[in-house]
Structure 1
Amino acid sequence: MTFQTFHDYPDLASRALAGSVIWASDEAFAEKENLITPGDAEFDPGAFGHKGKVYDGWETRRRRGAEIGGFDSAIIRLGIPGEIHGITVDTSWFTGNFPPQIAVWGICVHELHTGEEMAQIPDAEWFPLVPLFDARGDHKHDFDVSERRRVSHVRLDMIPDGGITRLRVHGIPRPKLAFLTGTIDLAAAEYGGRVIDCSNRFYSSPDNILGLGRSRNMGEGWENARRRSGDNDYVTVQLAGEGVIRRVEMDTSYFLHNAPDEAELIGIAADGTETTVIPRARVLPDTRHYYAVEGAASGPFTSVRLNVFPDGGLSRLRIFGELTENGFETLRSVY
């Protein structure tokens, strides 16, 4: 299945990619950090605390008196700076307390700033990602984003107050070029690698295999459905840029009874030529597999395709190597 919508790009704000909600004007009823929690918001109709109804989202107090005329905001530092292609603002479960209007802004800063420092940046320096819109309660609002500037932080405004459960910021990672020198994981999301095709994502997203660190359970990997036909499953990864592969790690940790039986890795050059990087070989469950790559099998390649036979999941895929000069030049052209 080739990807068609902005939802198929990584969520650059996700906590799974080290996104962080660094500031909010108010979080009297529900914490700002809930905005970027992986997965859909949950709701327990019987859950009440000392402050009122417990929500799996961000909820502010009702504005009164001198606060009337203002509005609430939250600032999110993206885990990976990038080029934004789409945003989802989710008000699920907020029915009588959702904000009437919402807007989303972006900015790119090159140094680390505290939330308080980011909140002091003048409005004129933020550019619109999602212009002010009339919001609906208990609804996922999807917006295509045409602004192609690099974004490091987003500001979520709700006017005047209320609750929002989740914010998703989907796009193409654009890390600093200085971080792409030497031997790196060419497939890692933090360096710009991304899944561009996948045969099946029934149980969990293939994006997980490019995530930070090691998985903590099977749910943090890619798991496909049980295949009943005679072909096989696969996932195709666009590398951070054209690169030469030195070694590969394929990790089936936590996949005890549903790892692939066999696997192979195919390298794909800029002109579409395919070369076998790792020949089809046996795969063990709950195991980190390492492969050294030499000669023509090392590329250069712009993407790789992992074929698993006949099906089965894995936790992580690491493609270690170096960008070519052409890879660097291509990346410079989009910054």
Structure 2
Amino acid sequence: MTALHQSSLASFTGDANPYGGGDPYADYRTADFPFTQYANLADRQLGAGVIAANDEFFAQRENLLVPERAEFDPEHFGHKGKIMDGWETRRRRGVSAEHPWPAAEDHDWALVRLGAPGVIRGIVVDTAHFRGNYPQAVSVEAASVPGSPSPGELLSGDVKWTTLVPRTPVGGHAANGFSVSVEQRFTHLRVNQHPDGGIARLRVYGEVVPDPEWLAVLGTFDVVALENGGRVEDASNLFYSPATNTIQPGRSRKMDDGWETRRRRDQGNDWIRYQLVAQAQIRAVEIDTAYLKGNSAGWASVSVKDGESGEWTEILPRTRLQPDTDHRFVLPEPAVGTHARIDIFPDGGISRLRLFGSLTEQGAAGLAARHQELGG
């Protein structure tokens, strides 16, 4: 195993106070972590899953990836004890009355399949509401395994695991953040809690690195989609919801599953800027305003540029949008670019943006080279 350097971040250790009533998040400990600008590679919407755990006596492992924050009900008990919104294991014991304490190497683990393979920039191990029953320490390892390996195959001893987070003390009822610095593409994680306890949520932030062979077989695909390696670079306003929602898989399921800005009181407009998976030839545009009924953008335009220093070229002129509607446009001529931008007028929101096309020879070659460099 290879240990990796972590940059200095706010960290928490020790118990939180027992719950005393009122807002359970009032004494929650958290910080702003710089890596949260990246996509959550462990998002269920991308296809992530907790595929195995050695123990989940008190609370099931699947809770780790629930998108909403953990909730706490002080009156919620079951036949096994307090029911927690997270993954919680039973208390470990030693081997005898003379040695009742767990051994130093004793720990519980869960295997996580990332929804989209990629380079990990940071991890948050959230112990919300685990005040005196959180793990003393955690560690996280990662592996890159092709296909769809079973838990048995991942644990067989034939897989190379790289330590992303060495065994590190954590705090109860806190967002424990860890930065990661390694240029490698990973597909799976092994999350360890030492020796036992509970973790409410796991977030794994990073950059999607798609399989170039898969994209080549597809031919035409959405070149800005998060699952294919597109990403949001910047946006004018994130008041109600993140711009990354616009490139998530599938259609929006409710209003806050898209991008909505605050109401403008000036003569400006709002926008999102994207980086495509690689240089691509775009042939069609789809703008969806699903569930945005009284707050949809009034008009939208789409532009692309080729390279960081390229000039922006409008490929879809300012066009009227309808509320709660999927709009599709076939471009009269293919447009080549590495970046895209959607401008909405004057404000409001969209739920999804799709840019359909295929990689150019230059784009495909660049993506293949990066995939190989990252060990994909």
TM-score by length of 1: 0.95
Partner of 1:281: 319
Distance 1:131 1:157 in 2: 10
Counterpart for residue 280 of structure 2: 243
Task: Compute the displacement of 1:14 (Å).
Answer: 1.0
Identify the residue that residue 187 of structure 2 maps to in structure 1.
152
CA drift of 1:203 comes to 1.4
Aligned residue number for residue 49 of structure 2: 20
Deviation at 1:190, TM superposition (A): 1.0
Corresponding position of 2:13: none
* Equivalent position of 2:343 in the other structure: 307
Q: CA deviation at 1:222?
A: 1.2
- Conserved 8 A contact 1:245-1:322: yes
Structure 2 CA distance for aligned equivalents of residues 27 and 93 of structure 1: 17
Please give the alpha-carbon distance, in whole angstroms, between the structure 2 residues aligned to 1:313 and 1:50.
Answer: 46
Q: What is the CA-CA distance between 1:232 and the residue it aligns to? A: 0.9
CA RMSD of aligned residues (A): 1.5
Query: Is residue 200 of structure 1 aligned with residue 237 of structure 2?
Result: yes
Alpha-carbon distance in 1 for matches of 2:187, 2:236:
32
Post-superposition Cα deviations, 1:250-269, rounded to whole Å, max 9, x if no partner, equal 00011110000111001121
Match of 1:101 among 137, 148, 151: 137
Indicate whether 1:214 and 2:248 are aligned.
Answer: no
AA matched with 1:107: A
Retained in 1: the 8 A contact 2:283–2:335? no
> Match for residue 259 of structure 1?
296
Given residue 96 of structure 1, which amino acid in structure 2 is its aligned partner? G
The answer to whether the 8 Å contact 1:90/1:140 transfers is: yes
Q: CA deviation at 1:120?
A: 2.9
Which shifted more, 36-45 or 273-282?
36-45
Match of 1:61 in 2: 90
Bigger Cα Rg: 2
Residues in 2 aligned to 1:249 and 1:18: alpha-carbon distance in whole angstroms: 23
- 1:43-73 CA-partner distances (Å, limit 9, x unpaired): 1222212221121111000012449332100
How many angstroms apart in 2 are the aligned matches of 1:142 and 1:65?
Answer: 30
Residue 197 of structure 2 is aligned to residue 162 of structure 1: yes
* 3-state secondary structure, aligned to 1:39: coil
Residue 65 of structure 2 aligns with an amino acid whose one-letter code is I
Q: Which residue of 2 aligns with 1:46?
A: 75
2:260 aligned residue: 223
Question: Is the partner of 2:275 in helix, strand or coil?
Answer: strand
Q: Distance in 1 between matches of 2:235 and 2:79?
A: 46
Q: Which amino acid aligns with 2:323?
A: P
Distance in structure 2 (CA, Å) of the matches to 1:229 and 1:6: 32
Structure 2 residue identity aligned to 1:287: T
Instruction: Quote the offset at 1:88 in angstroms.
Output: 0.8
Secondary structure in structure 1 of the residue aligned to 2:40: coil
- 3-state DSSP of counterpart to 1:331: helix
Work out the percentage of aligned pairs sharing the same amino acid: 45
State the SS of the aligned residue for 1:319. strand
The one-letter code sitting in structure 2 at the alignment partner of 1:170 is: Y
Quote how far apart the aligned CAs of 1:314 are. 1.4
- Give yes or no for contact 2:225–2:248 (8 Å, CA) kept in 1: yes
The aligned amino acid for 2:163 is P
Partners of 1:117 and 1:311 lie apart in 2 by: 50
Instruction: For residue 274 of structure 1, report the CA deviation from its aligned partner.
Output: 0.6
The answer to whether the 8 Å contact 1:83/1:172 transfers is: yes
Name the SS of the counterpart of 2:245 in structure 1. helix
Secondary structure, in 3 states, of the residue corresponding to 1:125?
coil
Q: Which residue of 1 aligns with 2:19?
A: none
In the other structure, the counterpart of 2:171 is 136
Unaligned segments of structure 2, at least 5 residues = 1-32, 96-100, 372-376
The partner residue of 2:227 within 164, 184, 190 is 190
2:154 to 103, 107, 118: 118
Count of aligned pairs: 329
